[in-house]
Amino acid sequence: RFSYSRKMVVSRLPPAALSLKQFLKRQKILGIYRDMLRTIRQVPDEGDRKYLRDWAKEEFKRNKNATNQDAIRMMITQANNHLEELKKSLALAKS
């Protein structure tokens, strides 16, 4: 005789697995973070570079556990705005 368990397997994914939407948003955020760090490397002054790098790391770390989708969208917009401002400032400094 075979013994069957009455438990149904709903998913083989671990409980903490991200949905596709969450995964894509996470990839987008990591892309912004990497782009920001790459852009910060172009800052000529070492002190400014360190300040900006520490600021960016702290901001992303502070918000990494956010779950409210509206808040996350707002933070993505703010991060993109900061990144564009930094790029504009660097472009002006070079000209």
**C-alpha span between 39 and 36 (Å, rounded):** 5
If 0-12 CB within 10 Å is exposed, 13-18 middle and 19+ buried, where does residue 56 land? buried
Q: What is the distance of C-alpha 52 from the center of its chain? A: 16
Q: Which residue has the higher pLDDT, 40 or 12?
A: 40
Query: pTM of the entire structure?
Result: 0.77
- Whether residue 13 has pLDDT greater than 80: no
Q: Which residue has the higher pLDDT, 61 or 94?
A: 61
Choose the weakest-confidence range: 10-14, 18-22, 26-30, 53-57.
10-14
**For 54-86, how does the pLDDT look when each residue is reduced to its tens digit (9 = 90+)?**
999 999 999 988 889 899 999 999 999 999 999
52 falls in which pLDDT band (50, 70, 90)?
very high
The residue extents of the domains of the chain are 20-94
The first and second tokens of residue 23, run together, are 């995964």
The first and second tokens of residue 44, run together, are 């000529």
Q: Which residue has the higher pLDDT, 12 or 68?
A: 68
**C-alpha span between 15 and 2 (Å, rounded):** 29
pLDDT for 16: 72
